Each structure stands twice: as C-alpha cells, then as structure tokens.
Structure 1
C-alpha cells in the first residue's frame, strides 16, 4: 500500500482517488474548492474567487470519432480506449447508488447541405481509429427514426459506440464513493515536488507519490495556456433528443447534448483567451442560431444559464504524463478531458508502477 497525495480534485484527481482507494492505497486529495459538490449553475465567480474545475462546465461528450474533426488520431485512440473504461466505471458507480451516468448509444454528425464539402473532408479524417466502426450514413427516413425532432434535409451520419456522461453527477459520485479518501477542501497547493505537496501557508503533505492534476494551477512547472470555452443550457420541455449531436459549422464545432430534466447543453466555442468573464453576445447568438437550425423545436426553449471556463492546453493539444520517482504529473487534457481521462489515468498509473494487474477496466 502506498501513501498518495493528489493535488487537484477535477476529473483526473477524483478518478485517480476513486481508483487508487479501491486498490487499497492511502489517498489524500487537496483542492481549493469548498467541497465536492458542483458550483451553483450560472453563478459568476467573484474576481478573487478560485475558479471551479473545468470538468463541471463540460458537456461530457464521449466522442472520439467526432473529435477527429479537429484532434489528432492519438487523442481519438485514447478516447476509444476510454469508452469501455467509462462503461465499467459507470456500472461501479451505479452499484454505489448513482445510476444512469454513462450512455453509449452512438452520436450523430450533422451538416447542412451547403456544408457538404466540409462534411466530406471531415469524414475523410474519421479513419484515425481503425479499430472503431465506420460512420453510418443516414437517409432522411433513418434519421427521422432515430431523432424525429431534428430538422429535415440534414446530412447525417451515426457514429456507433459514442455517447455521453453526466459531468456534474459523475464528479460528485466519484467523490462520494471514494471510501477512505481524505479530502482536504479549501486547501491551495503551492508546489508539487517528489514525495510532497507544499501548501499555501507553509504546511507540507508528505507521500510516497505526489500527483499533480491541477490543470492551469500547475504552471509554471507545466507549460500550459488556458483556452476559453463557452456553453449555454436550455430548458426545452417536450423537445426529444436522445443522442449527442455535432453540427459541422463554418465557425464552430457546435454540439447539442441532451440532459435530464428537459435540458439541452449547447456549446463548442474555442477561444484563445484566458478571460473568464461571462459569455459574449456573439458566441451566444451563433451557438443558439446553429442549435435552432438543426433542432427547430428549440425556438420556444428558455435559456437556463450560460457558463465559461478555461481548458488547460499544451502547445500540441495532447495530454502529457511526466513521471519520476515520487512524482507524477498529468495535464494538458484540453477540451478532451472527460473523453480521454480513464485511458490517460491508466497510462499514468502504469508509468508509476501502480497499474492494476492486466490493465483491465476498473
């Protein structure tokens, strides 16, 4: 059994804590948040307030094939490896009392007829994961059978095996079901060194292995930049959408993701800025217009709230794992955090000599 100290309680930190505790290790997690619960939806943080984890803002799409529109094949392969891992994790969390967190019933790739050329170029990239099934073209009748509410005349492809999870609920379940983990909330980590975490205020947490998953908080030790993302939540009673939908759009990779309670999350803005201020008018109008163009019944939806956050990105937009004795750093998941996290955690623990036997899903 190893003593493990984790800096950061985002997607990576909670997934690591949950898994390592299940394997019998002594785990402590340090994070500046008030607790494990999600932030209040739509609340704008004060200027001097610590930002919440980017994982709470994300839509939770598990879409490695669709991400090949703008991501490297290496990222898509991590995502494809992560899908069965998420299914296994979802079953474990369901047994602990949190059912329905993960769904893998496929996703849809859509384009308007005027964007046919762009769609064909994107489809040509969707061979970066040879082990994954090929996109299935859908005619009007097949699309209507799968998603009757979508607009007519759309070009459409089903991406089998893709899906989604519920980010807020999954983060909370991972924390609540990490039996034996010691959570140190309202605790800011200054630096992470081999075998110890230095806390703001001068205290030190010693460990056999110190793990840094702080995202942008890991600077300057990890070279990162923040990339702004914006999402909006719509309340759309009676609007039926069963699968995540990605629209090939001239300006954005726009997605629509169904959520419980008649909600639909719309997003995909990607802005080279570390500005955490509220969503801009231009982004909101473009995202809502694109969403309405593929799901006309959203015309009477109500805007619940809008959110912004920053994704930690490296120059190559690829995740990084750094290991040396007593220290493990994992970072740079960019916009792919939920999609690739289980495979990245698996690889990181293997590098640190803490892999489960056979590297099977947890």
Structure 2
C-alpha cells in the first residue's frame, strides 16, 4: 500500500458502536494506527452488560473444534498468535497463559472420550497444520498436572492453547483508549440509523460492534445463555484450563491468578438473563468437585449469567450494510478466541480495501444488497 494511502486512511475518523470486547479491541487497534476514534456504549466501563465480562476467555481452538466449524478453528489459531502482540502494546498488564488444555474423563465415560477424539481427528484432517492431541496415561497426566495425580487414569493434552484474564483485558483496553485520547461516551445507546446520520455530518467509518444490542437492527441475532461460577479455591492448583468430558454436563475449569477459577459450560437457547438456576449450579459444582475435591472448600465469588450474540448458523460475520459502515457480530461462545482475527479482517478492509484475510480464514464477509432495507430510520 502506498505511503500516501496509509496516511489518508490513518486520518479517517471511526465511530464504534459498542464497547464490549470487539468494540474496545477494534478501537484500540484503530487508535494505535492513527485513526481519531469515538465510542458510544449503552453500558458503563465495567462492562456489566457485556458477554465478555462473564466469559472464561479460553483460547482453545482445538478443544472447541469438537463443537464448531473448521473456519472458527482457523480464526482461533490466527488469534492465538496475535494476542501476545496485542497485549504487549496495552497500558496495563493482562494475565496470559499458553500452557495448553487438559482433557480428562472418568472411566465410565470412555465412550465420550472416544467420540471427542474422533472429532479432533476429523479437525486434524481438515486443518493439518494444527498440533496433534497427545494421549496421556496416568503417569504422564500426573507429571503434567500434579493436582490431578491419581484422580484420573488417562487424558488428552492439547498443546499451544491458552487463556487470558477477561476482566483485566477489558480494563487494560479502556486504560489504553483513555491514554490514546479516544472519546468514550458511556450509557449512550445508538442505533445504526443514528450512526449513519452522524456519519453524513462527520464522514469516516462506522463499526457496529454492539453484540446483542444490535438486535433491533440485525434481527437474525439471538441470545444463547451461559451460566458461569467464579470461585476462590486456595486448596486447588491447576496449571492450565481443564475440561471434563461427561455425557450430561461437560465442564471447563479455567484457572485465573490467585486461585480464582471460572467454571462453566451451560448453553441454553434463550435470552433469559435471570439469575443462574439451582440445577445448573449444582451440576457445575458437582462436576468441579469430581475433578478435584478441593473445590468443596472453595468460596463462591459470583454466579454469573449472560447471553452470547449468536447468528442462525452459530458463526461470526462481518456485513457491509452501507458505504463505510460494517457490522461485526455473531461471535457466540468464541469471542476471545476469535476476536483478533475479526479485528484484523476489519482493519485490512479499512486500510487496503479488500478482505483477503477473511477469505483465507473462511469468515463470512458480505455486502447487504439493499442497505436501505437494513438501516431504516427508527
């Protein structure tokens, strides 16, 4: 790209709707590239209304390949390499770990393990560049994760996978935005129509990253409820995210700093945001106790519920709905795992005028044929 084109693009203002994970991440990357950026968000800086605040923030494309498509796995691999670069340029530290993922199961659930291994094998054939899962017998499992010694007799190790601290990241992104002079308007809910009216006056780009907040403009969106337990268990030491395979309630346990653990896996087709159900909490905590009895003496810090923004095919998408206006949405349960990949696609489109990376990653990037039908005045 010619230097003059780079300067021209870096000077274009960008209005970002929504300050969840996708909105804050894109705003930081754009501001670092020289764009004047303005953010409007219906919530506050703590992200109480954002799915990103509740998430476990695991970066586990191979583990997720058992329930998602190869293109999401490819986006996850791209993003896993990008996260260290992004974190290095933020103004506050963010816990980041890349110690792989451990998969365990009880003997009576061996059929679940065989099913899971078959799914991983299919992903490996589709994406041969992925690292191969490593089967673990009891001795190797105990050496890898001493806290689980004698509790499980076999497992799988998925190398190179990682995780980060979601709340530290949201804070660090906000702190970086403030230092970069980005204008953030909290408790300000805008529609696409309002954003377009602003664009007609001020020019530049509009990026709609509102998640479920965009449902009034993108009616295909739906909420998929997740329930998560955050607890403090000083008697438990896990060195990497651990997943328990079970036919009824598979769970993940993501260790955070200072013996804080995020435990989850419920996935309910509803946009209900009421408190967590007793049944879900009992299943999550019972499964966690089965992984390590030290969780029985832990202290519950939070019972969190939130809905993830999901499109009909459970895949993310970027839509160009008007000149210089994009919607980025549908990250579903894979937000932290794929967000940098979507951000890089958007940046390429803004700066270079094409979406080659989207094609390489299999990300749906399309132009709405009749923008007026999708951005009606409200």
TM over 0.5: yes
1:21 to 6, 23, 31: 31
Q: Is the 8 A contact 1:32 1:186 kept in 2?
A: yes
Task: Give 3-state SS (helix, strand or coil) of 2:301's partner.
Answer: strand
> Does 1:37 find its partner at 2:35?
no
- Distance in 2 (alpha carbons) for counterparts of 1:62 and 1:170: 14
Go from structure 1 to structure 2 and tell me whether the alpha carbon gap of 1:240 and 1:274 turns closer, same or farther (over 3 Å shift): same
Go from structure 1 to structure 2 and tell me whether the alpha carbon gap of 1:8 and 1:154 turns closer, same or farther (over 3 Å shift): farther
Go from structure 1 to structure 2 and tell me whether the alpha carbon gap of 1:278 and 1:132 turns closer, same or farther (over 3 Å shift): same
- Distance in 2 (alpha carbons) for counterparts of 1:296 and 1:337: 31
Q: Is the 8 A contact 2:92 2:175 kept in 1?
A: no
RMSD in angstroms over aligned alpha carbons? 2.1
Give the ranges of 4+ consecutive aligned residues of structure 1 lying more than 4 Å apart after TM superposition: 192-198
Per-residue deviation at 1:355? 8.0
Per-residue deviation at 1:92? 2.0
Name 2:340's counterpart in structure 1.
Answer: 342
- Distance in 1 (alpha carbons) for counterparts of 2:197 and 2:56: 34
> Does 1:221 find its partner at 2:217?
yes
CA deviations on 1:273-300 (whole Å, 9 max, x unpaired) are: 1110110011001111111111222121
Per-residue deviation at 1:346? 0.9
Name 1:104's counterpart in structure 2.
Answer: 98
Name 1:212's counterpart in structure 2.
Answer: 208
Q: Is the 8 A contact 1:322 1:328 kept in 2?
A: yes
- Distance in 2 (alpha carbons) for counterparts of 1:184 and 1:261: 33
- Distance in 2 (alpha carbons) for counterparts of 1:112 and 1:355: 52
Per-residue deviation at 1:162? 0.3
Name 1:281's counterpart in structure 2.
Answer: 278
Name 1:314's counterpart in structure 2.
Answer: 311
- TM-score, scaled to structure 2: 0.84
Name 1:167's counterpart in structure 2.
Answer: 166
- Distance in 1 (alpha carbons) for counterparts of 2:193 and 2:237: 47
1:88 to 71, 85, 89: 85
Count of paired positions: 337
Per-residue deviation at 1:110? 1.5
> Does 1:184 find its partner at 2:193?
no
- Distance in 1 (alpha carbons) for counterparts of 2:265 and 2:201: 38
Q: Is the 8 A contact 2:266 2:280 kept in 1?
A: yes
1:61 to 54, 58, 63: 58
2:75 to 59, 68, 78: 78
Go from structure 1 to structure 2 and tell me whether the alpha carbon gap of 1:291 and 1:192 turns closer, same or farther (over 3 Å shift): farther
Task: Give 3-state SS (helix, strand or coil) of 2:300's partner.
Answer: strand
Task: Give 3-state SS (helix, strand or coil) of 2:67's partner.
Answer: coil
- Distance in 2 (alpha carbons) for counterparts of 1:355 and 1:244: 39
* Max Rg structure: 2
Q: Is the 8 A contact 2:105 2:152 kept in 1?
A: no
Name 2:372's counterpart in structure 1.
Answer: none
Q: Is the 8 A contact 2:230 2:300 kept in 1?
A: yes
Task: Give 3-state SS (helix, strand or coil) of 2:80's partner.
Answer: helix
Equivalence map 1:226-265=2 (5 Å): 226-265=223-262
Go from structure 1 to structure 2 and tell me whether the alpha carbon gap of 1:138 and 1:205 turns closer, same or farther (over 3 Å shift): farther
- Distance in 1 (alpha carbons) for counterparts of 2:306 and 2:181: 31
- Distance in 1 (alpha carbons) for counterparts of 2:216 and 2:185: 23
Per-residue deviation at 1:193? 6.7
Q: Is the 8 A contact 2:20 2:47 kept in 1?
A: no
Going by fraction, where is helix more abundant, 1 or 2? 2
